[in-house]
Structure formats: structure tokens, C-alpha cells
Amino acid sequence: MIASESGSSEDVDSSIKAQLEDEVIREALTSGMDLRQYSQSVEKELRQLENLSIQDYIGKAQNIATLHHQITECDSILENMQGMLEGFLTHLSTISQEIQSLQEQSASINVQLTNRKQVHIEMSTFIDQLMVPEIMIQHILNTPVTDSLFMQQLKALNQKSKFIKEQNFRDAHSCQDVQDIVDKLTVKAVTKIREYLLQKIYQFRKPLSNYQIPQNAMIKHKFFFEFLLLHARTVAAEIHDEYVETMSRVYSSYFQSYTKQLWKLQYEEGVTRDDLMGVEDSRANSFFTKSLKSRGTVFTLGTRDSVLSPTGLIQDIIVPHTAGKGETKYAFEVLFRSQQYALMDNGCREYIFLTEFFMVHDADAMKLFMTVMGKTLQHVQKEVCGVVMGCYDSIALYLCVHLIHQYRLLCHKRAVPALDNHWEQLLHMIWPRFEYVVKMNIQSIQACDPSKMATLDMRPHYITRRYAEFSGAVMVLHEKFPLEGVDGLMLQLQDEVEKVILKMAAVFHNRKDQLIFLINNYDMMLSVLSEKTREDSRECERLKELLGQRTGEYIEEVLAPHFGGMLTFVRETDHLIANNNTEALKDYEILAAVENWEQTTSQQQFLSPMMQSLASSLREKVVPLVRSFSSTWKKSVERLNNEVMQCFTNFRTGTVVLQRALETLITAHHTFNRTLAHSAFHHLNIKADIVNSHHLIVEAKKYKPTF
């Protein structure tokens, strides 16, 4: 209750505030008049205004009456217009119904027209398919099968025949009118096609015929066989069998004759089982290879890898008749390339022909191809196997393996997988033979007895020459197309060669001669391999390591007679100075003091026997060493140059070894001078005899190579 009273009081207050804001009330309050008087004056003014309004209305009564009349007339006119519009609306609804009816009639007529057109088209097509035009009859009967018009009408006849068969399946009686004509035309076309195809097949049987010409003609008219398959399967089978039998005989006869004549062109003096790396060759002018007439060497690649070049792979095959007239002879890999390229080229062309003309694919194409080429492939494989089993030319065998891989890739580029099995069979023959021949060479090296060799000097041995040439040949081919198993064989061969070199070096009693023999052989092998393969190859890196080790050892041996005392002294003292071993250096310092006291007082009788011995040792080691080096170093360097340059067969190798020896000497002499400058040797009177290292450097430049 209290809340409601407070709310009503708030509303009254707000109402009062709103009234006080009114302009009239605010004016009355501000005028200072009594509100009752002010109210009466306001009412008086309102009555006056009301009277004036009544008078004004009375004065305008005529106009108001006229306005009322006009409003009444307008209302009547609008009512008439409303009636007219309602009539129009009714009429429009009737017209809409009529238009809708016309649209329905139009759609119905349009459907009828479309149906009639469709029926007309189908009937026209049906009639055209049934009708046999006169021009078709004339071309099928009289035009040669090679004419394009015959092919055009034959395809049209094929379509009509298919159409009639479809309609007969649907029991269309109208087809019976033309069935007989179409059948007769089909029989006539089949007869003409059969005669043409058999004629082309019989052309294959003619001697010295180029069977690619009739094959191309058959491919051009490959629709003939498709027509026979659809309308005369017996004739199609006859064509198929006749072609397969004919081409099988043609290929077999050709490759038998070609292979027989081809093998006659091989070198008469072939590589035998005696031509191995470890077998000594006593024939004159056959130091490490087997020279043949117009032929490369047994272990040298030379230009034999030209058969693997892009042009060499697809080079024209050898014509035995032409080559026989010129008495030209070839290596086995050249004859093998010619034979396999002829087989690959004919095989790829035949496979493509079979798939296009006889319309076979995948397994059916492979089966048909083997029916045609199977005997030929077996014969070629047998002939190759016979030659390979008697071949001891490892490079020729390795080249043949690479030829097989290259021709297989070439077949794949031509999308011909039919010869994959043939390549596998050849690899199964040649690769084991290659491994066998390489292992024979390895065994021949293992069987080498250096003590039984007729001649053995410090020059590179024929075994290392043969190995270097053979290894370089294999690695050149291996880098172009790596083959699994080659690395293992070559590593085994390299190990055996290293072992036999060490055994041969052991024959020499002088260590220096042993090192010269090893360096000459390692250097020769490295030079050959570096020319043929990458310098960072495994074989080259191994030879560089061995050559570096033996060269360092040889330098120590060759420097020892001339500068051995200085080198020994440097080795004894250099590490002491480097490690700042003061205890050990004190011995040298005491000895130096004793030596100095002995020279100044000449009182040896006062020295104990032990001190006399130490002083004598110092004189024998340091002082004579310095003075001897000062007086003989130039002649020693000259003798060193003469000795080194006469020891090595390769002038470049001798120069390199000499330079390394001089560098070692200069480094040792620099260390020698640094050692003598130590406080332990200050009391020795040798300063005037010490040779400046710069003089050695100037002298060494005289022997620097100019190349």
C-alpha cells in the first residue's frame, strides 16, 4: 500500500512538472495576475473566436454545399469505373483459359511432329540400311581389292550385313528381300579378299624377297581380315594358319642361313684358354696382349665398345656375302650385335604386325608371336650357346651382356615385350660364361710362381698391364650401365693381382729394388685406370693409397745413404723438442758443455771415462754430421736425382718421386736447423757450418719438371 501511494505521488509530480513547462501556463505564472482572472479572460477570448468561426462557416455554406455535390458525383463515376474493371477482369480470365487451351494443343501438335520426324528418320535409315545401291554391287564385283572404292563399299557392305543380322534377330520380314543379294556380295568379297591375301603370303616364299613390302600392303588393308572374321571364319583361319606357317619357315630359314654365314666372318685366330692374365706369353711382340689381324687386343677395350654407342646399336647389319668378298673379319661381339639387331628388328616389326593385322593383344599376341618366331629364337639361342661355350674372350662376353640389356631397353621403347624371354635366355648363357672366364684369369694369377718366371725385372709386369687394361675396360662399360655381380668379380681380381705383385717383389733381395718394382707396377695400373675411368673410383683410390705408401717408404730408403745420419738425428730429437722433454734434452746440454770445456782447456785427463765417452759420442753425432752435410749435400742431391730418374720406367713418375724426396729432405733439414738452434746445442762450434734451408730450396728448383 505504501508502495502504491508513493508511485501515484510520483506520477502527480511528473504531471505537474509537464504542465508547468507549458508555454501558456508559464506566461500566466510570470504575468503576476490572479489565476482566476486570467482564466476568465481566456474563456472570453475562446467565445469570441467561436462566434467568429460560426460566422465564417455560415459565409462559406454555399461553397461547402457545392463541394459536397461534386464529391457525390465523383463517387458515382468511381462506382461505374469499378464495374467496368470488374467486367474486364472477368473477360481476361476467359482469355487466359483460351490461351492455355491453345498452348496444350500446340504442345500436342509439336509432339506429333517430332514423332513423325523421328519415325521418318528411322524409316529412312532402315530403308538406307536395307537398300543395296547399284554402285556397291558394281564395285564389289568388278573393282580390284586394292582400290580405295572397293574398301569403301566393303565397309558399307559390312555395316549392311550387321544390320540385317540384327533385324533378323528381331524377326523383321522386310530384310528377306535383300538378304540374298547381301549374302552373294559377301561371298564374292570374301573370295576376292582370300585370293589377295594368299597372293601376298605366297610372296614371302620367293627367294631373296623383301617381305616387308607385302607386310606393309597387308597392314594397309588390315580391315580385310576383320571382315573375314565376321563373315567367313573358316577363310580367316586359313589365312591365319597359312601366314603363321609361311613366316615361321621364312624366319627360320633366313636366320639359319644368316647365322651360319655370319660365324664364318669371325677371326680365325680366336682367343683360347691359354690367353689368360697369369699365363706367360713367350711369343715375340706379344708382351701383354694377343695381336690378331685387323683386331684389337685380348684385354684392351680400344674401340670395341663402339657397338654400344647409339649409332652402333642400330647400325646396318653385316652382309656376309659383301664382307666375304673383302675378306673382312670381325670380333665376336660385332657379329653378335649384327645377329641380335637383325633378330630384334624383325621381331619387333613382326610383333607389331601380328597385333595390328590379326587383332590380338597381351597373352594371345605373345602366343601367336612365339608360334611364328619360336623356332627361329630357339635356333639362334642354340647357335649363340655353341659359340659362347667355346669363347674365352671376356671383353667380348661382357660387351654381349651389355648389348642384350640395350636391345631389351630398345624393345621396351618400341612397346614390344615378346622378346623378353629371349634376352633372359641369352643372359643365362653368356653371364655365367663371363664369370667362368674371369675366374679362370683369377686362378691363372693365383697359380703364378714368380720364382719360375723366365724374366723378371723392375719394369711393370705383363700381368699388371693386362689387369689394368682389362679392369679399365670393364669399369668403362660398368659406369655406363652398372650390372650386378661385376663389382664382386673385379674386387676379387684386384686382390689377387695385389698379392701376386707382392710375391713377385719378394723375388728381389734388395728392399729398394722391391719398392721400385711395386711403384712401377702401381703407377702403371693407376695411369691406365685414370685414363679410362673416374679418378675417384674404388680401384683408383686403392692404387693411390698403395702407391703413396710404397713411395714414402722408397723415399726413406733412397735418402738414407746420402742423408741417413741427419734424418736419424732429426727423428731422435724432434719429438723431444716438440714435447718439451727437458730431462732428455739435458743430456744433450751436458754433452755440449763437456765438448766445449774439452776444446777450451784441452784437459781430457781430468774427465772421467764415462764423460769422455759421452763427449766422443757427441762429436761423432752432431759436429761431423753438420760438417759432412755442409760439404756433400749438393753432390748428394745430384746423385739422388740420377739414381731416382734411372729407376722408374715412367719419366713423370720418376720426377714426382724425386720432388717428394726433395720436399722430404728440405723439411728434414729445416727441422735439423731448428733443432740445432735449441739451447742444448749453443756451446757447439758449428754455426759457420750450418747450411741455410733456402739454399736447398734453390737447388731443388733446378730439378723441378717443366711439364
pLDDT digits (tens, 9 = 90+) for 106-129: 998 999 888 888 887 777 776 666
pLDDT digits (tens, 9 = 90+) for 236-257: 999 999 999 999 999 999 999 9
Q: Decide if 299 contacts 466 (C-beta within 8 A).
A: yes
Q: Number of C-alpha atoms within 13 angstroms, CB side, residue 297?
A: 18
User: What CA–CA distance (Å, rounded) separates 334 from 342?
Assistant: 12
Q: What is the DSSP string of 120-138?
A: HHHHHHHHHHH---HHHHH
Q: Which residue has the cell 762429436?
A: 619
Q: Decide if 255 contacts 343 (C-beta within 8 A).
A: yes
User: What CA–CA distance (Å, rounded) separates 220 from 240?
Assistant: 17
* 695 pLDDT higher than 80: no
SS3 330: strand
Average pLDDT over residues 564-582: 71
C-beta neighbour count of 661 within 10 angstroms: 26
User: What CA–CA distance (Å, rounded) separates 648 from 650?
Assistant: 5
Most confident among 261-270, 598-607, 672-681 (mean pLDDT)? 261-270
User: What CA–CA distance (Å, rounded) separates 681 from 595?
Assistant: 10
Residues 6+ apart with CB under 8 A from 181: 132, 137
How far lies 94's CA from each of 85, 115, 206, in Å?
Answer: 14, 32, 94
Q: What pLDDT does residue 592 have?
A: 45
Average pLDDT over residues 173-199: 83
Q: Decide if 277 contacts 467 (C-beta within 8 A).
A: yes
Q: Is 163 left (phi over 0), alpha (psi -120 to 50) or beta?
A: alpha
Q: What pLDDT does residue 650 have?
A: 79
pLDDT digits (tens, 9 = 90+) for 329-346: 888 999 999 999 999 999
User: What CA–CA distance (Å, rounded) separates 327 from 218?
Assistant: 40
pLDDT greater at residue 376 or residue 21: 376
Q: What pLDDT does residue 581 have?
A: 58
User: What CA–CA distance (Å, rounded) separates 29 from 32?
Assistant: 6
Query: Residue type for 616, please?
Result: S
Q: Which residue has the cell 500500500?
A: 1
Where residue 598 falls among pLDDT bands split at 50, 70, 90?
A: very low
Q: Decide if 243 contacts 222 (C-beta within 8 A).
A: no
Q: Decide if 471 contacts 438 (C-beta within 8 A).
A: no
* 602 pLDDT higher than 60: no
User: What CA–CA distance (Å, rounded) separates 174 from 69?
Assistant: 91
* 575 pLDDT higher than 70: no
Question: What residues does 513 pair with on adjacent strands?
Answer: none
Q: Please give the backbone phi and psi of residue 536, each rounded to the nearest 5 degrees, phi first.
A: -100, 15
* 442 pLDDT higher than 70: yes
The rounded mean pLDDT for the chain is 81
SS3 266: strand
Query: Helices marked H in 33-147 — which ranges?
Result: 35-59, 61-130, 134-142
> Quick one: which of 660, 664, 640 has its CA closest to 705?
660
Angle at 197 between CA 191 and CA 199, to 5 degrees: 100
Q: Please give the backbone phi and psi of residue 573, each rounded to the nearest 5 degrees, phi first.
A: -105, -20
Average pLDDT over residues 265-284: 76
Q: Decide if 38 contacts 31 (C-beta within 8 A).
A: yes
Percent of residues, the chain, with pLDDT higher than 70: 81
Long-range contacts (CB closer than 8 Å, 24 or more residues apart) made by 476-483? 476/301, 476/305, 476/532, 476/533, 477/301, 477/305, 477/308, 477/398, 477/399, 477/402, 479/533, 479/534, 480/308, 480/402, 481/402, 481/405, 481/406, 483/401, 483/402, 483/405
> Quick one: which of 633, 296, 311, 679 has its CA closest to 469?
296
User: What CA–CA distance (Å, rounded) separates 275 from 299?
Assistant: 9
Where residue 645 falls among pLDDT bands split at 50, 70, 90?
A: confident
Long-range contacts (CB closer than 8 Å, 24 or more residues apart) made by 647-656? 647/458, 647/516, 648/516, 648/519, 648/520, 648/523, 649/459, 649/460, 649/520, 649/524, 650/520, 650/523, 650/524, 650/527, 652/705, 652/707, 653/519, 653/520, 653/523, 655/705
